[in-house]
Structure 1
Amino acid sequence: MASFIIRRLIASIFVLLAATFLMYILVSFAGDPLEDLKQSSAPNKAELIESRTKLLNLDVAPPLRYFLWLGALFRGDFGVSIQNQPVNALLANAITSTLTLVTTATVVAILLGLTVGIVSALRQYSGFDYGVTLIAFLFFSLPIFWVAVLLKQYGAIQLNNWLGDPVIAPPVIIGASIVSGLVWLSLLGGRWKKRLIVFGVSAVATAAVLTYLSLTQWFADPGIGIFVYIPLVIGIAFAVTAVSVSLRHRKALYASLIVAVIGIALYQPMTNYILNNMTLGLFLILAVLAIVVSGVIGWFMGSPDRWPVVRTTAIVGFFTAGLIALNKYMSYWEAYSNSSRVRGRPIATVGSSTPGLGGNFWVQGIDLFTHLLLPTIAIILISFASYTRYSRASLLEVMNQDYIRTARAKGLTQRTVVVRHAFRNALIPITTIIAFDVGAIIGGAVVTETVFGWVGMGRLFVTGLSASDPNPVMAFFVVTGTLAVLFNLIADLVYAGLDPRIKVG
């Protein structure tokens, strides 16, 4: 393993050197960094041209200038832009902005796409499968700039208007109830009598929830509350256990329920006292502590087969603590929405933060969420479509293999066949797609950043290229090229973990 990683890293260094050399030459001949000064009518035009020439070493031939740039790069210096700004500072701001924007979107798109794709494959040729296929192709064909503009119009402007008086109209309640009933009907399947019962129950439940939210104007001052929190965490304990190890594993189920009960007991102290004076460091410590304590409970209760129980309780602990944090965020929503800087229009359309907002940790978190919401949805909609189709096709191919038939012939349950045998092998081709996509997305969602006013990696690259500014372009290329190589190496290592037949050596 170590020798394989070392060989790949050495080969990657030579690949990056060759790629950066070619890129530098292409950028150098693509435009003239002095063009704006040559067209200027400034009285000191000659001095400005001479100053920029010395600043960017433009009097040196591009092949030799590359080695000057490379020597500075080995010292950790990406040089300066044509405006004499340190590229290191521009790159740091761009990376922070892009990672903030795309990390959540990428993780959610992967998890949601894999989940929906797998369910679609297991319910092949059902109404749910046809519906997901239609939606996936629709989203895949939509241009990202058009989606972004629609989100700004209906996800921000219209939604902000509605939040001023958040009453859900009866036609909307009826329509949402019918859609919910159809989704659950197509998911669960079975005979028509059972499916009609499922449709009726889900439609009535959806209508009741939406009516309650409308009458109480919940969206104006949202919150979870202890009476909603209790059934939620107990349901999470059952659901996570069912997917992770099945409900027949009593030790895992009891351990998960213990974690849920601890969360219920800590709900009021955490909400009213412990979470009041919160900082980012303390928040991260509490999050890690919740996962570790939950895992320890699983360790003590899971003997002799501990690790599946530890995994299950850790996931339950994460969601249990996450709901408490979510409720705390919700408690500050009204104060944030009615602040002098936001003025009742909380869903942001431009930028990454509200200037001069102030406020505590929770208010700043809500502000970040409202600015991330629309661009994140835009990226998710496009990425979700491809992940759904890839995961569906991969799982369908695996489910037709001989070893799956053998596992079923041995009498294994459907959950065991899918989770332990099929799903793991279906992830192998998807890992390749994810490795390429993550490197590309971190390179910058150029259109999304432009529409929503985020200054990230994509904007840095486009601005540098249009201005014939070589150093920001090369900084972008080095970062994205390194990430592409790194994620491809990680993908190779994941292959070996997913399939024992693959030997890394």
Structure 2
Amino acid sequence: MATFIIRRLIASFFVLLAATYIMYVLTALAGDPLEDLRTSTAPNALQLIEARTQLLNLDVPPYLRYFIWLSGVAGCFVGNCDFGVNVQGQDVTIQLAQALGQTLQLVTTASLLAIIVGLAIGITTALRQYSGYDYTVTFFSFLFFSLPIFWVAVLLKQFIAIGFNDFLRDPEIPPVVIAAFSVIAALLWSSILGGNTRKRIIVAVVAGASTAVTLAYFNLADWLSDPSLGIVAVGLTAIGIAFGITAISTGLRNRRALYGSLAVAVLAIVLYYPLKFYVFPLMSLGLFLGMLVLTVALTGAVGFVIARRDRWQAFRTNALVGLLVILVMSLDQYMSFWEAYSDSSRIRGRPVATVGAFTPNLGGNFWIQGIDSFTHLLLPTIALILVSLASYTRYSRATMLEVLNQDFIRTARAKGLTERTVIVRHAFRNALIPIATIVAFDIGALVGGAVITERVFGWTGMGQLFVKGLEATDPNPVMAFFVVTGTLAVLFNLVADLVYAALDPRIRVNA
């Protein structure tokens, strides 16, 4: 394994070396970085030209200037990166550090959500092949895949930002909208869960009625202006998560795993008020991350102790239940500060942001800052998800259908294994092998595609660094963007190879 990784890293190093050389030379030859000074009428224009020439080593041919740039970048191996300076004399390394955080925040959120939602939709459409649900998802997948990202961004600004912000001034849901959402929910859930006609009718009635009651409650309680979950909703959600995760992970017949998950749900109900009044008011980013890690460890340990067999499976199930439950409790805390955030002088009742990554001079505690980050991430994340979701949905559906027709799946069913075991343990794992390749390529593509998204939504991320470098024929910012994107692509392709070996025991990554 170690030999394989070392060989791949060495090969990747030379690939990056050749790619950066070609990119640097092409960027340097694309224009004249002194053009603005040559046309300037300033009396000291000649001195400024000479100063910029010395600053950027423009008296050295691009073919050789690359190696001056490379000598600075090589310092990254010893923790002293130097990407040079831009045409204004600003340190590109500092600019990259600032831009990288915002871009990775956007891309990481969009990637995780696109992968999780795309796989879930793709697999469920494969299990409900040729149903109304399958045809609907296929239609919208091709629709979103064919739309250019900038057009999607404009539509989101118009209908979600402007339209929804206007709606929040008097958030009352009309009866026609309630009826429409109820019908959609009824059709959707009955199609996803499937079954005979009687089961479909029962699911449709329950889903439609639940949706109608929920939306009517939103109107009566003015929930959209001051949202909250409360201990009852958190408790019911925690119990639902316990049943759902256990059903998927181990099956409800594994009573000890179910009891462990329900114990986590009960523990969340017991700790609701202590956390709300004594822990959450002191929250910071470090404390929040520590709380998540501690929750995973403790809840996983509960499952490990309760289970008599398959203890690591119980550990995984309980840890996932604990993580989701603590996130639901955190969501409830975020909701409690929604009204204060929306009514603040910097927001003025229009919480869905269209420009930038944060609200300047907002202030507030950890929870208000988190809401602000969410409202700024909402539109660009949705734009990136809609474009990526189509490919994940179609690929996961196709690979799942291919796996379900394999002989080993028929053998598993013939052995009497439950449908959950066949799907989760056998089909799903093998269907992930081709998806790993798509994910590896899509990470680099998302960073590159975020250039347009950042431009539309006014994010000061790597996209802005890249575009400004191209406009000024300034290779250093462009190369900073290219190095990060290329390195991410190489690393995730290496990760994909390792994931292959983890998913398929027939694959070996030996030298």
Tell me if both proteins adopt one fold, taking TM over 0.5 as the criterion: yes
How far apart are 1:160 and its partner, in Å? 0.9
Counterpart for residue 273 of structure 1: 278
Counterpart for residue 387 of structure 1: 392
Q: Percent identity?
A: 63
Q: Do structure 1's residue 6 and structure 2's residue 1 form an aligned pair?
A: no
Which residue identity does 1:154 align to in structure 2?
Answer: F
Counterpart for residue 504 of structure 1: 509
Moved over 6 A (4+): none
Say whether the 8 Å CA contact 1:444–1:459 is kept in structure 2.
no
Which residue identity does 1:378 align to in structure 2?
Answer: A
* Aligned residue among 279, 299, 304 for 1:294: 299
Counterpart for residue 42 of structure 2: 42
Q: Distance in 2 between matches of 1:194 and 1:61?
A: 74
Q: Distance in 2 between matches of 1:251 and 1:216?
A: 39
Equivalent residues in 2 for 1:96-111, closer than 5 Å: 96-111=101-116
Counterpart of 1:40 in 2: which secondary structure? Answer: coil
How far apart are 1:142 and its partner, in Å? 1.3
Q: Do structure 1's residue 193 and structure 2's residue 198 form an aligned pair?
A: yes
Counterpart of 2:281 in 1: which secondary structure? Answer: coil
Which residue identity does 2:426 align to in structure 1?
Answer: H
* Aligned residue among 61, 79, 84 for 1:79: 84
Which residue identity does 1:32 align to in structure 2?
Answer: D
Structure 2 CA distance for partners of 1:444 and 1:381, relative to 1, 3 Å: closer
Counterpart of 1:445 in 2: which secondary structure? Answer: helix
Counterpart of 1:275 in 2: which secondary structure? Answer: helix
Counterpart for residue 15 of structure 1: 15
Q: Do structure 1's residue 489 and structure 2's residue 494 form an aligned pair?
A: yes
Q: Distance in 2 between matches of 1:303 and 1:411?
A: 23
Which residue identity does 2:324 align to in structure 1?
Answer: F
**How far does the alpha carbon of each residue in 1:273-300 deviate from its partner, in whole angstroms, 9 at most, with x for none?**
2111211111111111111100111111
Equivalent residues in 2 for 1:117-266, closer than 5 Å: 117-266=122-271
Say whether the 8 Å CA contact 1:299–1:309 is kept in structure 2.
yes
Counterpart for residue 30 of structure 1: 30
How far apart are 1:444 and its partner, in Å? 5.1
How far apart are 1:320 and its partner, in Å? 1.1
**How far does the alpha carbon of each residue in 1:145-179 deviate from its partner, in whole angstroms, 9 at most, with x for none?**
11111111111111111111111000000000010
Say whether the 8 Å CA contact 2:98–2:461 is kept in structure 1.
yes
Counterpart for residue 58 of structure 1: 58
Q: Do structure 1's residue 454 and structure 2's residue 456 form an aligned pair?
A: no
Deviates more, 1:378-387 or 1:80-89: 378-387
Q: Do structure 1's residue 419 and structure 2's residue 441 form an aligned pair?
A: no
Which residue identity does 1:321 align to in structure 2?
Answer: I
Counterpart of 2:351 in 1: which secondary structure? Answer: coil
Q: Distance in 2 between matches of 1:372 and 1:112?
A: 17
How far apart are 1:383 and its partner, in Å? 0.9
Say whether the 8 Å CA contact 1:31–1:468 is kept in structure 2.
yes
Deviates more, 1:487-496 or 1:455-464: 455-464
Counterpart of 1:218 in 2: which secondary structure? Answer: coil
**How far does the alpha carbon of each residue in 1:362-405 deviate from its partner, in whole angstroms, 9 at most, with x for none?**
11111111111111111111111110001000100111111111
Q: Distance in 1 between matches of 2:413 and 2:348?
A: 60
Say whether the 8 Å CA contact 1:328–1:362 is kept in structure 2.
yes
Q: Do structure 1's residue 436 and structure 2's residue 438 form an aligned pair?
A: no
Which residue identity does 1:387 align to in structure 2?
Answer: Y
What are structure 1's unaligned runs of at least 5 residues?
none
How far apart are 1:93 and its partner, in Å? 1.2
Q: Distance in 2 between matches of 1:192 and 1:324?
A: 37
**How far does the alpha carbon of each residue in 1:419-458 deviate from its partner, in whole angstroms, 9 at most, with x for none?**
1111111111110000011122134511111111002122
Q: Distance in 2 between matches of 1:83 and 1:104?
A: 33
Q: Do structure 1's residue 480 and structure 2's residue 485 form an aligned pair?
A: yes
Q: Distance in 2 between matches of 1:212 and 1:340?
A: 29
Q: Distance in 1 between matches of 2:181 and 2:404?
A: 34
Q: Distance in 2 between matches of 1:196 and 1:411?
A: 29
Counterpart of 1:104 in 2: which secondary structure? Answer: helix
Q: Do structure 1's residue 306 and structure 2's residue 306 form an aligned pair?
A: no
Q: Distance in 2 between matches of 1:194 and 1:313?
A: 30
How far apart are 1:306 and its partner, in Å? 0.7
Q: Distance in 2 between matches of 1:198 and 1:254?
A: 26
* Aligned residue among 371, 376, 398 for 1:371: 376
Q: Distance in 1 between matches of 2:484 and 2:119?
A: 28
Say whether the 8 Å CA contact 1:444–1:457 is kept in structure 2.
no
Which residue identity does 2:335 align to in structure 1?
Answer: M
How far apart are 1:216 and its partner, in Å? 0.8
Counterpart for residue 78 of structure 2: none
Q: Distance in 2 between matches of 1:97 and 1:231?
A: 36
How far apart are 1:243 and its partner, in Å? 0.4
Q: Distance in 1 between matches of 2:328 and 2:195?
A: 33
* Aligned residue among 312, 315, 326 for 2:320: 315
Q: Distance in 1 between matches of 2:101 and 2:166?
A: 31
Q: Distance in 1 between matches of 2:479 and 2:140?
A: 38
Counterpart of 2:282 in 1: which secondary structure? Answer: coil
What TM-score do you get using the length of structure 1 for normalisation?
0.98
Say whether the 8 Å CA contact 1:443–1:457 is kept in structure 2.
no
Say whether the 8 Å CA contact 1:98–1:444 is kept in structure 2.
no
Counterpart of 1:390 in 2: which secondary structure? Answer: helix
Q: Distance in 1 between matches of 2:467 and 2:221?
A: 48
How far apart are 1:460 and its partner, in Å? 1.4
Q: Distance in 2 between matches of 1:46 and 1:256?
A: 74
Q: Distance in 2 between matches of 1:187 and 1:15?
A: 45
**How far does the alpha carbon of each residue in 1:307-354 deviate from its partner, in whole angstroms, 9 at most, with x for none?**
100000000100111111111111111111111111111111100111
Q: Distance in 2 between matches of 1:201 and 1:153?
A: 34
Deviates more, 1:452-461 or 1:111-120: 452-461
Say whether the 8 Å CA contact 2:384–2:446 is kept in structure 1.
no
Q: Distance in 1 between matches of 2:173 and 2:74?
A: 59
How far apart are 1:409 and its partner, in Å? 1.1
What TM-score do you get using the length of structure 2 for normalisation?
0.97
Q: What do you get for the CA RMSD once the two structures are aligned?
A: 1.0
Say whether the 8 Å CA contact 1:444–1:456 is kept in structure 2.
no
